[in-house]
Amino acid sequence: MDSRTFFSFALTPVAVAILSMPAMAADTLPATPDAVAAAPAVTQGAVPDVLLAQVAPVPESMPAGSVPAAGTASASSEGADYRVVVTGAGTGASKPLTVVTDPRKARQPIPAQDGADILKTVPGFSVIRKGGTDGDPVLRGMAGSRLNVLLDGEHILGGCGGRMDPPTAYVFPDSYDRLTVLKGPQTVLHGPGNSAGTVLFERDREARPEQPGLKANVSGTVGSFGRRDVMGDLNYATPDFYVRGTGTHTRSDDYKDGSGNPVHSSYERWSGRMALGLTPDANTLYELTYGRSDGEAAYADRMMDGTKFDRENIGLRFEKRNISPLVRKVEANAYRNYVDHVMDNFSMRPATPAAMRALSNPDRETIGARVAVTLQPLESTRVIAGVDAQENQHTLRMSKGVMAGTAYEAMPRIEDGKFRQLGLFGEVHHNLDDRQRLIGGARVDWWEATDQRMTPSLATRGLKRDDTLPSGFLRWERDFDQGNGTVYAGLGHVQRFPDFWETVGGMRQSTSTNSAFNTRPEKTTQVDVGVNWKNERLSTSLSTFYNRIDDYILIDAFNTGARFGKVGNPAVVRNIDASSYGLEAALSYALTPQWKLDASLAYVRGKNRTDGTPLAQMPPLEGKLGLNWNNGTWSAGALWRVAARQDRVDPGKGNIAGQDVATATPGFGTLSLNGSYKVNKRVRIIAGVDNVFDKTYAEHLSRSGTMIPGYIQTGRINEPGRNWWLKTTVALD
């Protein structure tokens, strides 16, 4: 066992050893969503904190350090959840366009091991499979930088020009306390470009206890195909400071599909993080964090595998609350994320002749900061305004031949793309009366990008470009049935700057030159309409949307040939006009105190209005039906997932994460089962089996398999066959 694996596993016995120690008093713990929801009602016309959770207002009664990030103050759709295993069926929005969930809960299929895995359990999400890990998440048919993903309020961008490492590849779900999904362009607080939505992976800041105390959480998972996970989380807090350390390790061998054929998909990943927080008084927090992670992963869709995903993170955070009746909160954070990525064609696959060995070593440094202030000019109005900025630099070096595995380390890194962004934003929540409210916001982003590639024939070599891009939204919400339901309608507009993969990565071209660097920004205008309602037995949500996208950035892989003096050119990047519409619906019904029925439905349909064809990379209609039983000690559940046939394809076209293949995808259905036993208030054992009937199938959104010796090449990468798993969780809190 190497040092990285040891670090992750070492936390396990330590956490278990301290279970005999006294737990912290309950009144010293951070405020929970249920506790906030149970707080006394606010006066008529005042802005209730539970309604402002999306913008993270600070309830004045909360202790220092327990400041919730987005979504904390709202009761999650899971809330005090009977679902021991989260399947996605019945997981609707807890409030308009917002889904909040606990990423540490067991998931089905097998508990998530990266960010894309866990997002797949949220209705409306799909994942583009490449192997066993590091899939690209897709929300409502939109992928890449159309989906804004933040880790503790920080942006992280991968290094691979072929998307081996999307932002979610650096997410270890068990190390986070909360996952919040904000659907559509209905917030301006979390950075630019969220035309599909915003995803927030967040950790809690610890409460300021009256007495020092220690908490621990540990979990372990074993499963088919050599799956092994472990997570440890230790936290020591005093009235003046807290220290929190988290470590994770996950691995798997190649899985087999339902026909027993192995898929090139093994992986191993680990992470570690330390946080030091200072709480000099009840309203002040200073926090310093440091994290590292690394791993390796085999890919079934390409000729190289990832042998290094080394990420280093350092972050600083400051929060001050209750400054005055007008100034409720000031917050600031700064961070640096560095990714050093290595991929090659010989380390993780059958022997490659030495002379044909190839290695690529891209890296990216992302530096960012954000400052925001929360104001309450009126009892019924709260405003959040601020500024955010980001700069990222990408470099690349490559080596070939017998010494490819070591020669690259002595080679210089060549800069090829640099991006800078500065944004100003403001968001207002205003109560019209005790049942109606308006939420609106606007932001403007200044972008600058430099094409640093030095290829002599490149049309945009050394070129610099800049754009000023506005975005904004307005949403009306109205409560009904004594607050049990909410109806809403929102209009949002986002202008998105083309990202690295759409301009520089992959040496893609435009329709007129051998460079895509001058691709125009994408402009999305979207209407969101929906309703949420619940009572003691029934909880429902329905969210619908329609958008028109001007200058949609399309990757056209088949639009190649002998052009611009080359043969077999890379894909072409085109601006087209497009539109899409769809819905997500969820229902949860208590048949009896022990039996619950869950259901969800997700649908999206897109059109390429320029070419008169279906918009590529649209997922099929998908439904989930779950039945769960829970008596408080034992639980059992079944999940039936069904996907319809998808024949609306446009071969070769798509986005930076994937393009349509030439054939339709047949529909399929899979059955999964789970059960659990609560040993005591600290220990729970959960087991499950996915794909009970060992069905051979592939998702519509999947990369094509490539030819690898010893493996069967498939048009789409097949999903795992029957998969048994068991997860144990131990908590002291």
| pLDDT computed for residue 112 by the predictor | 87
Confidence of residue 323 (pLDDT cuts 50, 70, 90): very high
User: What are 384's two structure tokens?
Assistant: 């959040």
- The enclosing domain of 604 has a CATH number of 2.40.170.20
Asked if residues 181 and 119 have their Cβ atoms less than 8 Å apart, the reply is yes
CA distance 337 to 291: 9
pLDDT digits (tens, 9 = 90+) for 92-104: 667 899 999 999 9
Can you tell me whether residue 627 is helix, strand or coil?
strand
Asked if residues 603 and 618 have their Cβ atoms less than 8 Å apart, the reply is no
Domain that holds residue 604: 3-406+413-732
Asked if residues 279 and 242 have their Cβ atoms less than 8 Å apart, the reply is yes
Bridge partners of residue 243, in order along the sequence: 236, 276
CA distance 165 to 159: 7
Q: What percent of the chain lies above the pLDDT cut of 70? A: 86
Q: What percent of the chain lies above the pLDDT cut of 90? A: 79
Q: Which residue has the higher pLDDT, 32 or 149?
A: 149
In terms of phi and psi (left: phi > 0; alpha: psi -120 to 50; beta: otherwise), the region of 319 is beta
**Can you point out the beta strands (E) in 78-166?**
85-86, 98-101, 106-107, 125-128, 136-139, 142-143, 147-151, 154-155
Range 423-451 burial, b when 16+ CB lie within 10 A, else e? bebbbbbbbeebeebebbbbbbbbbebbb
pLDDT digits (tens, 9 = 90+) for 600-642: 999 999 999 999 999 999 999 999 999 999 999 999 999 999 9
Average pLDDT score, the chain: 88
Confidence of residue 426 (pLDDT cuts 50, 70, 90): very high
CA distance 256 to 394: 36
What value does the mean pLDDT take over residues 406-415?
A: 94
**Can you point out the beta strands (E) in 345-484?**
358-360, 363-378, 381-396, 398-400, 414-431, 436-451, 464-480
Q: How many structural domains does the chain have?
A: 1
Confirm whether pTM is higher than 0.85. Answer: yes
Confidence of residue 569 (pLDDT cuts 50, 70, 90): low
CA distance 539 to 598: 9
DSSP output for 22-75 = PPPPGGGSPPPHHHHHTSPPPPTTS--GGGGGGG----TTSPTT----TTTTSP
pLDDT digits (tens, 9 = 90+) for 531-566: 999 999 999 999 999 999 999 999 998 876 545 655
pLDDT digits (tens, 9 = 90+) for 186-229: 999 999 999 999 999 999 987 788 899 999 999 999 999 999 99
Question: Backbone phi, then psi, for 122, in 5-degree steps?
Answer: -95, 125
In the predicted structure, residue 281 carries a pLDDT above the cut 80: yes
| Residue 385 identity | A
